Chains A and B, each alone.
Chain A
Amino acid sequence: MRPADLLASSWRAIRTHKMRSALTMLGIVVGIASVVLTVGLGLGTQKDVSEQIAALGSDLLIVSPGSSTDESGMRGGFGSGETLTLTDADALASEVAVPDAADVAPEKASSLSLEYGESNWTTDVTGTSTSWPEVRSRDLLYGSFFTEDDAADGASVIVLGAETAEELFGTTSVVGQEVTIDGEALEVVGVLAEAGSSGETSLDDIAVVPMTTMVERLDDSGNSESVDTIYVKAASSDSLSAASQETTALLLNLHGIASADDADFTVEVQDSLLDAATSVYEKLTVLLTGIAALALLVGGIGVMNIMLVSVTERTREIGLRKALGAAPANIRNQFLIEAMILGLSGGAVGVIIGVGLALALPSVLGSTIVVSGLALVVSVVVAVGIGAIFGVYPAARAARLAPIDALRDQ
């Protein structure tokens, strides 16, 4: 029997039972579409997180109060969570002690209510130094960041995130306007360009003021020296680990701690965050893919079911074909190819639906879905494979039918 005739024969059998073939394919369609979607969603989320972390700066050290080596999370004599000070930040900025650090920006944040006319908006107001835009890799949309003079004087100036400006003023072009925090009037000197979101918190809902302004006029925590975080930007990503060691050594020295194990601060490298996030999302992708694979398995069992029914129903046809000279292999191949065509068509339709949803869903869900070409090709191959694997048993049964019994079947 010629291969083209074999293919034509299988194709005709599928077309003869359109409804049944469509329903059989449905299982594969759902399975493949969910594989495409879940893999895409996993990859997309991974990409989002990577970008957010990269946006923070890949050559960045984050120094936080408290120790990660202690189970309580805190250590030291300055009081819980207040072990980092402005003095630390100034020392870190020294080129002698930390030659591999390019810039240092301490942050002291407080959730405060901003007012403009009738509207008010509560956001994290951060006090910091002039090197903040450089260290945090942020650009300005309008105006400029506050100056060294502003920082030294504790000037009444504020830089708003795009979202914060939008919420307060209904527009982002607000340079020169005035906002009030706890009765203190502050002039908006700049608006930050959008940077997206980092997990739960938006990087665009933020207000930045000079550290002096924060400490002297806005913060009422009573501890004027302590800071929440010190960001140290390494001279380059190659010097990141050197900068990390220098930072640790300097802070241990300043805090009078002998062993790094007793440190009352934590120095984190951005890369390790990236690695951790990547590994989490790889696990997530594996999990989602596992679920989708289960859906495919169910689809495959559906194919086997229908093929078995089909063999029973077409017993007479099989008998006739055998009487006319079809060898067992001819019959087996016909059913096997039928199952594979069902798998292929189901896979193709599933890929189309999966890609369609991948294009449509991000606008609804707000998450990125990455459609990987490799995943699509693998999906279709897997669909055909499932057709073949689950078609083997029904095809073997069809091939084994004795022609006389088959012909006699009413």
Chain B
Amino acid sequence: MTVITRDPLDVAAPVIELSGARKTYHTGDIEFEALRGIDCRIFPGEYVAIVGPSGSGKSTLMNILGCLDVLTSGRYVLAGEDVSQMDEVALASARNRRIGFVFQQFHLLSSLTALGNVELPLVYAGVAPAERRERAMVALQRVGLGDKSRNHPGQLSGGQQQRVAIARALVTEPAIVLADEPTGNLDSHSTRDVLGMLDDLHAEGSTIVLITHESDVAARAGTVYNVTDGQFVGAGTEIAK
């Protein structure tokens, strides 16, 4: 492993740019600093892993990156848009357009088919039914589940459900795919399956941010950031392949 330093002039503009990111939680009189000044830039096509033990602040960081929460101070620019001062409605729109979430618990709606679940972000984007069905079908085919489009989540294995979730993350063609412990609920076979799929997406040019506490999962990424006590330990660490 080698510590890398980037020359900002020789690459495209960053997808994610965090500067002086701080997040403080208040519980009664007690203040808790979850993030204590993080600077970070992630460029298009990068595969980044954020690792750290529980309580390190990595979940907070994931919420900030995913526009699910806002910073107490500092700046977050996502795909050229400053989202740090956005209100709830604008944040919802930013999530819809820029972020593809993959969660540990899959978070598929059991009342919808696989296709219906993949269509959901497009429903909130106001895409017409015919177009969104077509785009959702393409996304499902991309994760190899074209033949399962009419199945409900309950009729699919854990690995297949997570692949549906990945298709849902891809369908809006987001700036980043944000995967939060995507293999946490999967057996080793499905874990390999899903990680292989993220590798493929990376190879096809997607920007992926993976949050995990498992070092062998993080090892798949190109760059690893270590979070401890709300701060990055060292700079991004490039994994030697």
Contacts and interface: CB of A to CB of B under 8 A. Distances in A.
Contact of B63 (A322, A324, A327, A404): A404
Interface string A390-406: 00000000000011100
Contacts of A9: 123
Interface residues of A, number: 25
B111 A325 contact: no
Interface stretch (B39-47, B88-96, B143-151): B88-96
A16 B111 contact: yes
A184 interface: no
Contacts of B88: 327-328
A147 interface: no
Chain A contact residues: over half helix, strand or loop, or mixed?
helix
A16 B69 CA distance: 31
Q: Give the residue among A1, A323, A324, A329 with the most B Cβ atoms within 10 A.
A: A324
Nearest to B120: A324
Nearest to B127: A2
Interface in B65-117: 66, 68-69, 88-89, 92-93, 95-97, 101, 103, 107, 109, 111-112
Interface in A353-375: none
A5 interface: yes
B96 A325 contact: yes
Contacts of B66: 323
A323 B168 CA distance: 12
A316 interface: yes
A69 interface: no
B121 interface: yes
Contacts of B109: 317, 320
A19 to B, nearest CB: 15
A3 to B, nearest CB: 10
A13 interface: yes
A283 interface: no
Contacts, number: 64
B81 to A, nearest CB: 14
A219 to B, nearest CB: 83
A5 B109 CA distance: 15
Nearest to B100: A324
B233 interface: no
A234 to B, nearest CB: 73
Contact of B95 (A5, A317, A325): A325
A333 to B, nearest CB: 12
B204 to A, nearest CB: 22
B126 interface: yes
A288 B23 CA distance: 60
A217 interface: no
B89 A327 contact: yes
Nearest to A316: B107
A326 interface: yes
Contacts of A16: 111
Given A327-B89, A404-B68, A321 B111 contact: no
A324 B96 contact: yes
Contacts of B96: 324-325
Given A16-B111, A327-B93, A321 B124 contact: yes
A321 B111 CA distance: 13
A12 interface: yes
Contact of B92 (A2, A13, A327, A404): A327
B124 A326 contact: yes
Contacts of B95: 322-325
A326 to B, nearest CB: 5
A9 B120 CA distance: 10
Given A324-B95, A325-B93, A330 B124 contact: yes
Contact of B68 (A2, A12, A403): A403
Nearest to B168: A324
Contacts of B111: 12-13, 16
Contacts of B123: 1-2, 5, 9
A324 B101 contact: yes
B13 interface: no
Contacts of B69: 402, 404
A382 interface: no
B156 interface: no
A407 B103 contact: yes
Interface string B158-179: 0000000000100000000000
A5 B107 CA distance: 20
Given A324-B121, A325-B96, 12 more contacts: A1-B124, A1-B126, A9-B123, A324-B101, A324-B120, A324-B124, A327-B89, A402-B68, A402-B69, A403-B68, A404-B69, A407-B68
Interface of A: 1-2, 5, 9, 12-13, 16, 316-317, 319-330, 402-404, 407
> Which 9 A-B pairs give the minimum distances between C-beta atoms?
A325-B96, A325-B124, A327-B92, A16-B111, A324-B121, A320-B107, A404-B68, A403-B68, A327-B89
Interface of B: 63, 66, 68-69, 88-89, 92-93, 95-97, 101, 103, 107, 109, 111-112, 120-121, 123-126, 128-129, 168
24 contacts: A1-B124, A2-B123, A5-B129, A16-B111, A323-B95, A323-B107, A324-B124, A325-B92, A325-B93, A325-B95, A325-B96, A325-B97, A325-B124, A325-B125, A327-B88, A327-B92, A327-B93, A329-B89, A330-B92, A330-B124, A404-B68, A404-B69, A407-B68, A407-B103
